[in-house]
Structure 1
Amino acid sequence: SFPRFLINQNLPLFHITNPPYLYLGYIRKHKETQEHLKYFKGKNEGYQDLYQIAMINDLRNDIEDLIYIIPTNFLFGSAVSNKFRLDFLKYFRIDMMFIFETKMFDYTGTNVCIGFFKRKQKPKSENIEFNGVKIKNNERILEMAYILKPQFKYRAGSEFYEFLEEYKVQTPLKVNYYLLKKEVMSCKGEKKISVIDANKYESSQYRRTNLLVNISLKHSIESNILYVRTVDTGSFEGRVGLGIILDDFNVAGIYVSGNTYRTHPIQIFFEPEISHDEHGLLKDYFNFMLEAFREKLDSEFLTTYKYSNAKYTRKYLGLTQARKLIQTFPYKKLNYEYKKMLFNLIEKKDFDKIILFLETCKKEGN
């Protein structure tokens, strides 16, 4: 609890601290940290990290000024931060932020930021605008201007989310993830199909195996040739995006024999079925648009994965983000001429004209 004698002084209080940050998912999985689960009960239910408990405690104790060293996923995180940002930033504005995309502490791989927070005169859900300084891992310094919007849960990179909302097609592709063991077991047959097992990573590669399935599941696997890589590897060839399973793994499918993990390569299944050529065009469109927004917004709409010595800050692409970007692909409008036009625009890396192309499809009814 907050020291009452400080509150009773009736003096301006600044709380300057580097609180513990430990993610709830980690706490649950490790016996040595499970004693901290008590902090996430009652009025704190729904929060996802110990630092959030510390900050919300200051909010409840009417502290006016906060200077906190906290994970950068306060700005960039999705599920890990959405509820907390909505609750906290109704009461506080951000005056300034220093963001470190380089290693600061010996005992954590988490990138951190220093945030300067000031309590609002009245609670209000409104845009929050502030300036930030970003220190990159190559010692490059960027000055950034941020606008956090409540309709996007105050997450940085709102321009990307505005694009997803603006250009979602009327009848988007339905996206399903994972080739699960229960589906394979319920569709046994005599048709052999080669897969990698996403749960068996051995000697720097996924174990290859053959499944015996019925003709319907074999067709479904072979008709859906794309997978999503959700975590940057650190190399420029291994950035998040869509890939072709056969090209990258030399098999037809990606099988999940155990638990699903969002950081594994994940096969994507589409409804309605689209051709292999359309899969290829979707891959190129998706990866180009994703990289264009990463360059434009310094990847701030993606969750920071963890610190590394890579030449760029490794990021995580959420499956919801991937689904929503796929849903801007106007597959129903892609006759031969439109396919050729979109392919050429991607080849030319013409972002602005692709936006105009999407506008045209939208006006025609996509």
Structure 2
Amino acid sequence: MKAYVVNQWLKGPEDLTLSTNVPVPEPKEGELQIQVKAVGLNFFDTLMIQGRYQIKPPFPFIPGGEFAGIVLKSTVADFKAGDRVFGSAASFAEVITAPYRNVLPMPSSFTFEQAAGLYITYPTSYAGLVLRANLKAGEYCLIHAAAGGVGIAAVQIAKALGATVIATAGSKEKLEVAKKFGADFAINYRDENWTAQVKKVTNGHGADVVYDPVGLIEESTKCTAWNGRLLVIGFAKGQIEKLPLNRLLLKNISAVGLHWGAYTKNEPERIPEVWKALFDLFESGKLNPALYENIYSLATLPRGLEAINARESYAKVVARFDQHDSKI
């Protein structure tokens, strides 16, 4: 089969090479063998192949984190051959194996492309906004990088929860994307006075919740409301911030982090709770996965990662692994 196999740390996606004679993996007990139809691409995929991610798999390894596909073989009663599923596993390959606990049935109305980007982005945003930040209806929610994968998910979830959403992004085109998916206000965070703009659209109140996958927490304290909650999702800018704690003190601000992957070890009971809430929102139509206009293929997958790294993309970047009707 075809797969991307990493044998040493790479400079970037441009160094990924597609191998054509990789053995097809067989599922062990508790695993599924899955034909991959589409994969979701993430910023951390590049960090992984560079050896810069917190998880460093032994060589050789197949990168990738999200997928959607069809079960070929199952070793558990919960799934059978032919089931349409999505989940998380080393996914940049035509056929993969995955622990059944990392796999979920696809929402019935979704295409493989839509489902491929669900497993990490949507629970990350939901758990952050609900479990950690306790976002309430009527509050102002400031979402940075609102046109990105987790950002678009956060915009939709915040709107579904009844919040007023203030989206930031670095270009007019990305701000339009955020507004298309529900943002009430759109502000370019490259503007020198963007924090003043946030205060203006909130009538001086400020943001009750700040959702930040970029690294804009320190600046955001200038426009955070009394009793505001700062939600640390990631550091796409590449630098880990240092926060003046006196700013937290003066406004009663809370700063909390969200590591969705760690719930498996620390609070596994919250995982089904989050997914039930998300599936209810999927079925109601309140959440509709947003995809980047360029759908990549297995062969052009590295270009998708390059688009993410260059901040050229918006919404969720995916690669489709065949040319057939994605709904089959």
Q: Structure 2 length as normaliser, TM-score?
A: 0.27
TM superposition score normalised by structure 1: 0.25
Whose helix proportion is higher, 1 or 2? 1
Determine which structure has greater relative contact order: mean sequence separation of CA pairs < 8 Å that are 6+ residues apart, divided by chain length: 2
Computing the radius of gyration from Cα coordinates, the structure with the larger value is: 1
